[in-house]
Amino acid sequence: MAKQRKSAPKVRIRRSQLIGGLESEMKQFVLILIASFGLLSSKAQTGVDTLSEAIVKPGPWPAQASGTRQNIVVRGKDLDDLPVRDLSDLMRFLPGVEIQARGPFGTQADISMRGSTFNQILVLIDGMEVNDPLTGHFNMNLPVLLGDIEQIEIIKGPASALYGPDAVGGVILIRTKSFEPERMKRASLRADLTGGAFGLAGAELIGFFGNGGALGGKVLRSDGQPLNGADAPSYFRQFGATSARIFQWKSGLMLKVRFSYDFRDFDARYYYTQSTLDQSREEVERTWVQSSLEKMWNNGAQTIWSTAMAITTDSFIFNPQFTPNAHTAITQRTRILHRFEANNGSSFQVGADGEFVQVRSNDRGDHQLAHGGAFGIWSYRPNNTWTLQLSSRLDLEKAYGLKWVPQADISRDFGRWSAFASAGRSIRSADLTERYVSTNLPGPLSGRRNLGNPELGTEDAWSWEAGLRSSHRAPIWISGSAFLRNSRQLIDYVLTPGNEIPTASNVSDTLSYFYAGNLGKLDLAGVDLALNMHYQRAAFSARGSLGYVLLRQLNDQQIASKYLASYARDQISVQGTLKYKKVYLGFQGLHKKRDAAYVAAINRTLDPDYFVINSGLGTYLWRDRIDWSVQCLNILNRKYSDILGAPMPERWVYMRLIVHLKKGSTNTERRCQE
C-alpha cells in the first residue's frame, strides 16, 4: 500500500464508487512453567481430554489422516477463559504459529508458520477458503464470531495436495457451531460484553434457536492509544453479523447455508509504509455467502458440494492530499468431495474445486482470473499401528499451466510414543497486488513505492518433516519435529532502479521502487517443539501449551526484500488456564527473536527481540451462567512492534462479561456437554 499521487486537498473515501535482558526473564518464566507442569503430572489423573493433537472428526473438506502431522486443535469453549477478543489474539500464542500484527484486537494481522509469508497460509471456514485474491493482508479478516467457533485445527507444513495452492506454510481449519447439526438442535444464547481503557467498548451476541437456525452480531470500537503521537490515536471500529440455517431430510440429504458480514475501519498509519507523509486510514468490508449440500449414502459414503462467494471492498487513503485507492474483489469458489471406505482398511477421498475472481481497482486495474484443480487421497490403516496417506492433485491456472502436486504422510504408533513423517510439494501463484499494484496509475510514480509485476512466476517448494509425539492420553504430552523447506521463485518486493524495470512505463529512470519479483531460492530448516498438558483433581484444573520454534536459513543467498526475511528466528509461546472452583486465571506469553531494523525518516526501530504477557482473572457467577473477568494486554507494558513502523499497544486493561443461557441447563452442565 504505497502512497498515492497528489490530487485535490480534500478527498472522502466512498466505497460506493466501486461496487461489485529479555531472554533471561523468558528463560526463568519457562523453567517455572516446566517445573509446575512436572509437579502437576506426578499427581494427575489419566484419561483426560486434550487441548491439541485431539482426534478430529471429518468435516466438509479433505481430511488429513489423524496422527500424521504435528497439528494443533483448539476447542471453542476454551476461548472464554483466555484474554482474547479475536482469533489473531489467540493464534499468536499457539506453538509454531507466528502473528505479525499491525494493530490491537485483530485490526489487521498477518499469519505465518515455519517461516512462511502471510500469502503462504491457507484459511478455511467450514471447508471453504477465505483467502483474499487481492492481498493476503486480509486473510485474517474472518467473517465469523468468537461465539460461533466450535473448533480450530491448525495443520503445520505443506498441504497443497489436499487443499490447493497457497498452503505452503500451513492450513487453518475453522469449524463453526452453526454448521454442526447436533449443535443447532440445542437452543442457547451467548452474550459477550467488553469495556475498558482508551474508549474500548464492544458487544457480541449470538443465538441458536434449536430448529437449525442461528443469528448473531458484534461491534467493537476504541479511540485507540496515542502510539503515533497525541494527535494520532490508533482508533478502530469493527462490526460483524452472521446468520445460518441447516435443513435436514430423512433421505440423508442436508443443506447448510450462511450469510456473514465483516467491516473494519482503522488508523493505518505506518502499516504499509515508512513515509513521513503517511496519515493512512483504511476501511475493509467483506460479505460472505456460503452453502454446503451433503448426502449420506446407505453404504456409508458421503458426497459434499460446497460453494462460497466473497465480496471484499477496500478503501485506503494514504494522505488527505492524495487520491484514495479503492478496490472491489468478487470471488466465487466451489468444491465437490466424495469420500468412501473399503473393507481392507483403506479410505478414499476424491474431488474437484474451482475459483473465479473479478477485481475492479483504480490502482491495480480491472482483472479476471480463473483457477481449478482435481485431487485424490488414499488413506490406509491396516491396524492400530500404521497410518499411511498418499495425496495427489492436478492444478490448473493460466499463470503456471498444469501443475502436479503430490504429498505423502505416514505414522507409526509404538504405544506411549508415535513417529510421523511427511514429504510434499506446495505451490503459490502471485496475488493481484503483487502483479498489478500501482500499474494503473499515471506516471511518473514517486519513488520507493510498491510496484507490481504482471510477469511473475509461480512459487514452488518441496518440504520434508519427521518427528515424535508422546501419547495424548497422559496428562502431559509432548511433540517435536524437524523440517526442511526448499523454495524456488519466491515472490517479494525488492528496491529496484526505475531503469531496470521492464514491465512498467509509469516509472522514473532516476528513482527506485519496491518492485515485485521472483527472488531465486531459499532453503529453510527448523525445529518445532510443543508441550501440552491437562490436569484435573477435585476442584482444581490446569490446561496449557508451551512451544518453541527455531528457524535457520541454510543457503548463503541474502534476500534483501520486504517480507521473506521478516519471520522470527526463535519463538517461545505459552498459553493456558488455571481454575480453582469458580475462579480462573488465563495467561499468554510470547518471546520473539528476529532481525533488527531502523527507519530514520520516522525514527522507528524494530527491536531484535521482545517478550510480552497477557493475562486475565475471572470468576463464574449465577449458577455458572455468567463469566466475569478483568483482562490485561501487555501486562509488563513493553514497547514492541511486529511490523517496522507499526507499534503495538502498551498496557491495556478491560473488563469482560460473558453470559451463557441454555434451555434446561446451567453453564457448568453446558461445559460438560461440550
SS (H, E, C) 487-515: EECCEEEEEEEHHHCCCCCCCCCCCEEEE
Confidence category of residue 247, pLDDT binned at 50, 70, 90: very high
Do residues 430 and 493 make contact, with C-beta atoms less than 8 angstroms apart?
Answer: no
Confidence category of residue 557, pLDDT binned at 50, 70, 90: low
- Across 19-33, 226-240, 507-521, the highest mean pLDDT is recorded for 507-521
Confidence category of residue 13, pLDDT binned at 50, 70, 90: very low
Q: How does 260-285 read in b/e, with b if 16+ C-beta sit within 10 Å?
A: bbbbbbbbbbbbbbbbeebbbbbbbb
Give the span between the Cα atoms of 550 and 572, in whole angstroms: 9
User: Strands 281-296, 253-267: parallel, antiparallel or unpaired by DSSP?
Assistant: antiparallel
Write the pLDDT tens digit of every residue in 418-461. 999 999 999 999 999 999 999 998 888 888 888 999 999 999 99
E-state strands within 126-252: 128-129, 149-156, 170-176, 188-196, 200-208, 213-222, 236-248
Q: 3-state class of 673 per DSSP?
A: helix
Write the pLDDT tens digit of every residue in 72-107. 888 888 888 778 888 888 888 888 899 999 888 988
**What is the pLDDT at residue 89?**
85
List all residues 6 or more positions away from 279 whose beta carbon is below 8 Å from its beta carbon.
232, 269, 318, 319, 320
Closest CA to 422 of 123, 65, 112: 65
Give the span between the Cα atoms of 116 and 113, in whole angstroms: 5
Give the span between the Cα atoms of 240 and 262, in whole angstroms: 4
- Across 222-231, 473-482, 586-595, the highest mean pLDDT is recorded for 586-595
Confidence category of residue 11, pLDDT binned at 50, 70, 90: very low
Do residues 541 and 520 make contact, with C-beta atoms less than 8 angstroms apart?
Answer: no
pTM for the full model? 0.88
pLDDT at 664 over 50: yes
Write the pLDDT tens digit of every residue in 254-267. 999 999 999 999 99
- One-character DSSP codes across 394-439: EEEETTTEEEEEEEEEEEEE-SSEEEEEEEEEEEE---HHHHHTTT
Q: Residue type for 519, please?
A: L
Q: How many other β-carbons are positioned within 10 Å of the β-carbon of residue 80?
A: 23
User: Strands 121-125, 170-176: parallel, antiparallel or unpaired by DSSP?
Assistant: parallel
pLDDT at 158 over 80: yes
Residue that wins the pLDDT comparison between 524 and 21: 524
In a 10 Å sphere around its CB, with 0-12 CB exposed, 13-18 middle and 19+ buried, how is residue 389 labelled? buried
pLDDT at 399 over 70: yes
Do residues 234 and 104 make contact, with C-beta atoms less than 8 angstroms apart?
Answer: yes
**What is the pLDDT at residue 9?**
34
Taking residues 166-186, report their average pLDDT: 92
Q: Which of 128-137, 209-218, 302-311, 325-334 has the lowest mean pLDDT?
A: 128-137
List all residues 6 or more positions away from 35 whose beta carbon is below 8 Å from its beta carbon.
none
Give the span between the Cα atoms of 255 and 12, in whole angstroms: 42
Do residues 450 and 493 make contact, with C-beta atoms less than 8 angstroms apart?
Answer: yes
Calculate ∠ Cα 282-287-290, nearest 5°.
150
Write the pLDDT tens digit of every residue in 269-293. 988 877 788 889 999 999 999 999 9
- Across 80-84, 92-96, 560-564, 646-650, the highest mean pLDDT is recorded for 646-650
Confidence category of residue 70, pLDDT binned at 50, 70, 90: confident
pLDDT at 673 over 60: no
**What is the pLDDT at residue 323?**
85
**What is the pLDDT at residue 29?**
38
